[in-house]
A and B are shown apart, each in its own frame.
Chain A
């Protein structure tokens, strides 16, 4: 696999659905829709469309890259299963990229610390910290899920000026803006982009950081509710059994 590999990028981790095809010279064609029909309806027709517009046959694709999250579960599953199916049918490898890494990437020119924040619904956010390094960004923390207040105290603990990007940063802008040293990235940086995805994936392809399509799985960072409830119930012996035939 040379450096001229064509990469199809699939981006469905947030409310936005996107796809792009890129090569070493950058993004060749892309599509994004942040509003409108849902991911499953839009994604495959969009891939078909961008490939046709760019005059690319799908069998020229050398790798499929996908945002594996964290993000909205249903969207992630649509993207990940589409990537798995396309890569398997094309007999090419897949590359998984983190949504938070993707959000930080376009902000790589800032000297400030970057915090990527994805809305996790239910009053929580997924987040991670980054700093600028030559050619990109470096992740400084694990991916975390927590309430906006927890994010705020972590930002305070850095003692540095921060740029917060992502739909989670916009949603909880009120809380974040109370912290003096924090700026909020504008709406243009609200969602991970499929363009950033093919750029980051291209670097990974050069390092041959591929995944077997079957092993690709979304990064949920949160168990299914039923499992959480189950564990809580197991731990607390005092909880009565559920009533019959509720």
Chain B
């Protein structure tokens, strides 16, 4: 393998159909994301069958656009990477089957990628100087993980959510407040005009370990609004968001201190949240940690991160067999 390795990445684990061309895991030649948000919005969440159908229609044009934008012909690629899990099985299968077919025709290796690992590698894309060891916070609609990254591919799970994922809490509270779907951007926007100190929502397990719990917070929001029907929605949104961010930042910093690392990074859709980015950056600066925040478009699901993680996996473990299947419940490979 030469250093010029150029990978096509494909991501279809949930409701984004994405393809990207990335060289050496850091140099993004193109990154195309076609969001299905409009297809799912009226249902208030992702409908698996609708997502799978949309991936079949969208993937061809998305891959073609990624190739054209990158100026790289299919035959010039060195490997094809696709997310194999975790995610919606029917959606995963579409990207996986396409990637294997392309790899077979182009005669290049196929590499199956763990979606969670891909979110971690989004940090490396925007910051080529970033090197492990570090502590990473992965927060999305499906996951909330605090991970010590000892080296490439070597992870220790420090903590995770015991109930709802952080992004799930955003979606549920946004739906309850009538702010629409997806909830993350809606809360982020509404909170801008609200008072984050207006309501003192609980910060669950703030001082205990590295696990998270968000279902009590969601219940507290519902209870508060029912008791105070006249409460300003933007105050509720701002106070809720502040409670989530306080817990995420406090635990991440504590993990970094205990792990003895100097670097902190975040990934996942919730890592696009303005308050979380601002507070984490401040807190890291205050304690002398280097903080790596991938650009917002690299936090939400995309295929550049899949190509980046695929490049590292290919270098370390070699190609994945063409008989690979989808692994909807795949976990981060932790020590």
Q: Which residues of A contact B (CB under 8 A)?
A: 37-38, 40-45, 47-48, 58-59, 73-74, 77-78, 80-82, 84-86, 88-90, 213-214, 217-218, 220, 224-227, 230, 244-245
Contact = CB atoms under 8 A, between A and B. Distances in A.
Interface in B119-166: none
B51 to A, nearest CB: 9
Q: Which 10 pairs across A and B sit closest by C-beta, in order of nearness?
A: A224-B49, A85-B101, A89-B105, A226-B47, A85-B98, A44-B100, A41-B325, A82-B101, A214-B60, A44-B322
A244 B176 contact: yes
Contact of A44 (B47, B90, B97, B222): B97
Contacts of A245: 172, 175-176, 218, 222
13 contacts: A42-B323, A58-B104, A58-B105, A73-B49, A81-B98, A88-B60, A88-B64, A90-B105, A213-B60, A224-B47, A224-B49, A244-B176, A245-B172
A48 B90 contact: no
Contacts of A73: 49, 52, 90
Contacts of A218: 53, 56
Contacts, number: 112
A103 to B, nearest CB: 23
Contacts of A59: 105
Contact of A230 (B43, B90, B175): B43
The winner among B56, B218, B222 for most chain A CB atoms within 10 A is B56
Contact of A80 (B56, B218, B323): B56
Given A40-B325, A224-B49, A244-B176, A77 B56 contact: yes
A137 B251 CA distance: 68
A76 B175 CA distance: 34
Contacts of B61: 214
A213 B101 CA distance: 14
Nearest to B43: A226
Contact of B49 (A40, A85, A226): A226
A18 to B, nearest CB: 15
B207 interface: no
Interface string B52-76: 1101110111011000000000100
A86 B52 contact: no
Contacts of A41: 323-325
A129 to B, nearest CB: 28
B323 A224 contact: no
A43 B97 contact: yes
Nearest to B74: A89
A217 B57 contact: yes
